[in-house]
Structure 1
Amino acid sequence: MPDLSSIIKAYDVRGVVPDEWDEATSRAIGAAFAEFVRTDSGTTSVVTAHDMRDSSIPLSRAFAEGVISRGVDVVEAGLGSTDMLYFAAGSLDMPGAMFTASHNPAQYNGIKLCRAGAAPIGQDSGLATIREWAERDSYDREPERVGTVSQRDVLAEYAAHLHGLVDLSNVRPLKVVVDAGNGMGGHTVPVVLAGLPLEVVPMYFELDGSFPNHEANPLDPKNLVDLQAAVPEHGADIGLAFDGDADRVFVVDEKGDPVSPSAVTALVAVRELAKGHGTTIIHNLITSRAVPEIVREHGGEPVRTRVGHSFIKAEMARTNAVFGGEHSAHYYFRDFWRADTGMLAAMHVLAALGEQSRPLSELTAAYSRYAASGEINSTVADAAASTAQVRDTFAGQDGVTVDELDGLTIELPDGSWFNLRASNTEPLLRLNVEAPDETRMAELRDQILGMVRA
């Protein structure tokens, strides 16, 4: 078995098929995963699901062969979104494996692994061990039996669970344009939003892992252009864009303007706090400063974390937080096994819009207080040296706060701040800037980019 370090990342498996991994690799990872969860918790069954990519079915079947070779049973949930797999892992109390490369191009595929109850598995919580065992591909123990493979369709159960968390049956009629990007939203949205007072205008619902219309990555503004045009064209109240595995959602208002994920985080946080079942809200350090302000104004306790789902989920478990949000449009719910689900976040926004009469742009204006740059990437030869230069420029100035929880965060006396983080996988620095107004944001953004790109 080859070195798997190039495809087993910090949080998941990801790589080009078949150049970087293939069915034999998947079979070995399946065996290692089965042995890991059996040793870790005595597990005798795991659940799998897969997206619409051409390689997903053969890779998931090879993985199942590896699992059953170690005496562990496989329940195949079949075609689904990543949050549907998390639902299955939570409701069935089984470890899970989702075959998807999310928003990556067609030649990629991957596996997102979790423990029973949708608890995350990352490098420090099992993934390094799974990689080591898969590379070795041999075991001292002989299993007592070969496992079995069965099928279970959980899509209707998943939809019912979501409906139990957000009731949309009595909202005012809404026209909703949904861009599924030829990804898994095209499979789940028709079931979850059926029978509600919603007129859904579908865009790119055909499941096609070659992504013929645009990449299924709404974080890149160019992939929102079609939706932004379609919403006002159809006279719709809202637009929703899902990524390839539909665990993230991006929102567009009735004018075709994007609603920032920070505003969505604040809106959903207020709704979760109103339930009275908890006060802690998690947000990563790149979300708008409006998020902790609004959380406090509604009686909540904001907790700031590093970027990344493993950090968010760990803090949610530690604090028993009711909700967590990230700038990348991942939204996490205690009522959903602390897992991220774009669909549930979308339903909260639809409910907030449909329970009152104002248009979405007016509704979300209250949650958008500052001017933000969005994430800007710069290719650099030496990320550490560039970051140090920026730090030295600002540190020591009166009223400046320096924070290195995750990369470099500088807070300035006028209320502006920025974060500069190195990519874990590429020679990139990622910059996020926020300021009281657009002029100041642009000035600070250009100043930092000038230093980083010099």
Structure 2
Amino acid sequence: MTHQFHPSILREYDVRGIVGDTLSEADARALGRSYGALALAEGAKRVAVGRDGRLHSPSLEAALIDGLIGSGLDVVQVGLGPSPMLYFAVATLGVDGGIQVTGSHNPADYNGFKMLLNGRSVFGEEIKALGRRAEVADWVDGLGEITEADVIPAYLDALLRGFDGKAYRIGWDNGNGAGGEILERLLARLPGEHYTLYTEIDGTFPNHHPDPTVEANLADLKALVADKKLDFGIAFDGDADRIGAVDSEGRVIWGDQLLMVLAAPVLKELPGATIIADVKASQTLFDRIAEMGGTPLMWKTGHSLIKSKMKETGSPLAGEMSGHIFFKHEWYGFDDALYAAIRLIRAVSDSGQTLTELRSDMPPSVATPELRFPVDDSRKFAVVDEVAARLAADGATVDITDGVRVQTADGWWLLRASNTQDVLVARAESTDQAGLDRLVSAIDAQLSQSGIMRGGPIH
């Protein structure tokens, strides 16, 4: 029987939609059949499946597995846990791929699927191809088996392997996400004093939205750090593949700033290594990596794209402004906020300074949050091309790795088309407010020439 997915759920990096509206159990079953056919065509026989703590994740997982075993794939169920636990299972259980049922950091009514196969992320064109396969029921029939595996003990051991950090007083905000149980078990084994918020896994997210890159969501963590006079605080998103942090003064340590701290011990051990960050990252990060003897590489935003580039360049460490941190050094190369937290403790210890001192030593800069401009999907990439052409004609210093990133005397600004929403995303950074204002004016001027005006917030 053929199956049609709602076009909005076949996204660049995963399949994700609103349960009961754009995403159903029938979709999960059809995805299992399509993925199963793709996997078997590549010689895969066995895949791992995990799920996050959303209320509809068990039923979507059951339907997905029904589709997978109906294709003849064997399934290893690893159960409830964060996305990186599923990635760990794929890396260590001798399986050929894996799927995590997760809505990531989206609101509670969303859910979706992150897919791995034969050592890669399934993303972009491959996801669209799964949709086309379902439309014509290009599937295979079989009868796979289901087994279960408890990978939590091995995962915890791996997270702590080689731990050489000092004992700190740390606050942790799990945001009721899927990392809760593992975090509790991890902290029982970590030195130091630990204070936790919202470790109970609750798919309704009753306390705050589980996205640590939005500063408002860090309010409770800041209050905890201030109240207990802690050394720093760490937060996770809904499926614990993205990390956020605050120092003892409550200042947010953004993704690129975390990467500056994390890169130092890696470059001490691997001089000259390539450290990758996405085009949204601060110029101070790329400059700092070079100062530390590393090779900075600016690359496209998107965790699947970053992972691919890491493989290509042999990079030991990469990161995104969105809080995805990828360690190949002493780890497996996937984005794992729990592991990034452990490495942050180790890096701060190694520095001989506090995280607050490391944050204070970073060059002063003022930056915009992400500015979003609603634009029709059919037009968003064309607008970026138009801006790039005008800038080239003006002789501007432009990097076109992912959209346009323009360097001026005031600093830099970026304009790129979102891969997941019908928006253009812009960001700018300068050493002072006056410079930042000029950069934002330059963005507005370019966009107005293409008939685009800034809109309100988009989620």
TM-score, scaled to structure 1: 0.91
* 1:391, distance to aligned residue in structure 2 (A): 5.4
Look up the match of 2:457. none
Mean Cα deviation higher: 389-398 or 274-283:
389-398
Residue number in structure 1 paired with 2:338: 343
Aligned partners of 1:357 and 1:266: how far apart in 2? 15
- Counterpart CA distance in 1 for 2:362 and 2:94 is 36
Question: Contact conserved, 1:4 with 1:131, CA < 8 A, in 2?
Answer: no
Q: Which residue of 1 aligns with 2:367?
A: 372
- Corresponding position of 1:236: 230
- Residues of 2 paired with 1:330 and 1:24: CA distance? 31
Change (3 A) 1:52 1:263: same
Whole-angstrom CA distance in 2 between matches of 1:269 and 1:282 = 10
Matched, 1:321 2:302: no
Q: Residue 90 of structure 1 contacts residue 116 of structure 1 at CA under 8 Å; is this kept in 2?
A: no
**Aligned-pair CA distance for 1:426:** 3.3
Q: After superposition, give the CA deviation of every residue in 1:170-209 in whole Å (9 maximum; x if it has no partner).
A: 51x3111111111023222112232222222111112111
Following superposition, the deviation at residue 448 of structure 1 comes to: 2.8
- The 5 A counterparts of 1:344-423 are 344-355=339-350, 358-380=353-375, 383=380, 387=384, 400-412=396-408, 414=409, 416-423=411-418
Is 1:90 equivalent to 2:91 in the alignment?
Answer: yes
**Superposed displacement of residue 438, structure 1:** 3.6
| 1:283 and 2:277 matched | yes
Per-residue CA distance 1:395-427 (angstroms, 9 max, x = gap): 5557x3123221121111x25110011223434
Distance in 2, matches of 1:384 and 1:28, equals: 31
Question: Who is 1:75 aligned against?
Answer: 76
Q: Structure 1 residues 280 and 386, CA, compared in 2 at 3 Å: closer, same or farther? A: closer
Residues 410, 435 of structure 2: 8 Å contact kept: no
Distance 1:425 1:325 in 2: 19
In structure 2, what is the Cα distance between the partners aligned to 1:297 and 1:417?
Answer: 20
Match of 2:28 in 1: 26
Deviations 1:343-395 (A, max 9, x none): 12111211223446643221233344533223222335665676577657755
Whichever residue aligns with residue 62 of structure 2, its letter is R
Cα deviations by residue, 1:215-269 (Å, 9 ceiling, x for unpaired): 1112222211221222111111111110000000001000111012111112112
In structure 1, what is the Cα distance between the partners aligned to 2:235 and 2:87? Answer: 20
**Aligned residue in 2 for 1:255:** 249
Matches within 5 A, 1:140-289: 141-143=140-142, 146-164=143-161, 166-168=162-164, 170-171=165-166, 173-276=167-270, 279-289=273-283
1:297 and 2:297 correspond: no
Q: Percent identity?
A: 33
Q: Give the alignment's TM-score, normalised by structure 2.
A: 0.90
Further displaced range: 226-235 or 81-90: 226-235
Q: CA deviation at 1:138?
A: 4.9
**2-structure distance, mates of 1:236, 1:303:** 34
Paired with 1:147 and 1:52, the residues of 2 have a C-alpha distance of 26
- Distance apart, 1:298 and its partner CA: 2.0
Amino acid at match of 2:406: I
What 5-or-longer segments of structure 1 have no aligned partner?
none
1:37-56 to structure 2, matched below 5 A, reads: 37-40=39-42, 42-56=43-57
Query: Counterpart in 2 of 1:434?
Result: 429
In structure 2, do the counterparts of structure 1 residues 223 and 107 end up closer, same or farther at CA, with 3 Å as the change threshold? Answer: same
Distance, in Å, in 1 between the alignment partners of 2:72 and 2:384 is 50
What is the root-mean-square deviation in Å for CA atoms of aligned residues?
A: 2.3
SS of structure 2 residue aligned to 1:340: coil
| Counterpart Cα distance in 1 of 2:439 and 2:73 | 55
Q: Which residue of 1 aligns with 2:136?
A: 136
**Worse-matched range after superposition: 295-304 or 321-330:** 295-304
What whole-Å deviation, never above 9, does each CA across 1:141-181 have from its counterpart, x for those lacking one?
Answer: 543xx2111111111211211212x514x51x311111111
Report the count of equivalent residues. 443
SS of the residue 1:19 aligns to: coil
